[in-house]
Amino acid sequence: EYLSTATAPGKAILLGEHAVVYGKPAIAIPVSQLRVEVTIEKFRCPDNEIWIDSPVVRLYKNVKDLPFENPLRLAIDLTKDRCTTKTFSGMMIRINSALPIGGGMGSGAAVSCALIRALSTCLDGQALPAETVNALAFEVEKIHHGNPSGVDNTVITYEQPIYFKRNTPMKMVQVGTPIHLVIADTGINSATSTMVNGVRKRYEQDKERYQGIFDSIENLVDKAHQAIEIGDINTLAMTMNENHRLLQAMEVSSFSLDRLVKTAITAGALAAKLIGAGGGGNMIALCTTETTKPVSQALNAIGAVRVFSFSLADNKGGI
Ligand code: MEV
């Protein structure tokens, strides 16, 4: 018997990953086409327990048999604490995801958001408010890596393009003209924690140099923010290309990411860069309506794993 369901989108960071951990701004957008879906059903079992069925990670388990620090268990425990209803009958939480795991698209935060919403709906008859969902998902992010900026859970909870800075209220970004994008996956997954810790180590070794890189990224993010609002695609392209170079300087790009980036540019993309923690995962290419197809074809031709295009709609005067 069906009890509740909720979904959450993936995300892409247009500019500012890694530097955002150090208090710099980032611009992130939801990727609504790729989602996580959580469905909760009644499940006959002794002691009204909660089970999880998550085929993508081959997990089928009673939640109480998971360690406390398991992200799914933590999301469930935090949600139960916040809900008014404390008694319930056995349930099966089914998690399905179209998002690559460790691919820089926020799969962890998306699972948390959808799970928190589905479970709170199931228990209390309505989902917890967005601020609470965001706060709880942030707690879970801390398990994925020790020092998350909070950009992933925020863009995924609100499902809007955002300008994000640590510990400051996020701003919605106005999009002045539609932005055409292509995302492609290297097929290599990489742990956010490893990448974030690597940057931390190199930062500690040469603070001055890294601070310089972070300052340059901040500059680019602010330029890009303005460019997106006034619909200046060429300036946006310049900032994204430059941001990729700075990510390379931070040693978070990889051979396969750079290969996809180069291929996209050669095929006519205005800009291309890695998204998220890097080391593997996905890249994003900024295209026009005319170049979306040749860029996608070129990426497919060199064996990118999942290539898809989408547009960020102009939302001026909207919402
Ligand atoms: C991961 O999607 C983005 C990073 O900047 C980490 C973070 O912000 O917590 C690499």
- Mean pLDDT within 177-203: 95
Residue 5 pLDDT exceeds 50: yes
Q: Is 17 near ligand 1, meaning CB less than 6 Å away?
A: yes
| Closest CA relative to residue 279, chosen from 197, 170, 164, 156 | 197
- The count of structural domains within the chain is 2
Q: Among 196, 239, 237, which Cα is nearest to 19's?
A: 196
Is the domain of 132 the same as that of 264? no
Question: Is residue 152 annotated as part of the catalytic site, yes or no?
Answer: yes
Task: Give the pLDDT confidence score for residue 68 in this predicted structure.
Answer: 94
Q: What pLDDT shows up at residue 45? A: 86
Residue 218 lies in a domain: yes
CATH number of 155's domain: 3.30.230.10
148 and 241 together in one domain: no
Q: Is the CB of 252 under 6 A from ligand 1?
A: no
Question: What is the extent of the structural domain holding 297?
Answer: 175-312
pTM of the model: 0.96
Q: List 60's β-bridge partners, or say none.
A: 53
Same domain? For 135 and 24 the reply is: yes
pLDDT per residue as tens digits for the range 27-70: 999 999 999 999 999 999 888 899 999 998 899 999 999 999 99
Q: Is 169 inside any structural domain?
A: no
List beta partners, residue 127. none
Complex ipTM value: 0.98
What are the Cα distances from residue 269, in Å, to 40, 241, 246, 319?
Answer: 42, 11, 19, 29
Q: What is the pLDDT of residues 227-242, one digit of tens each?
A: 999 999 999 999 999 9
CA of 50 to the centre of ligand 1 (A): 31
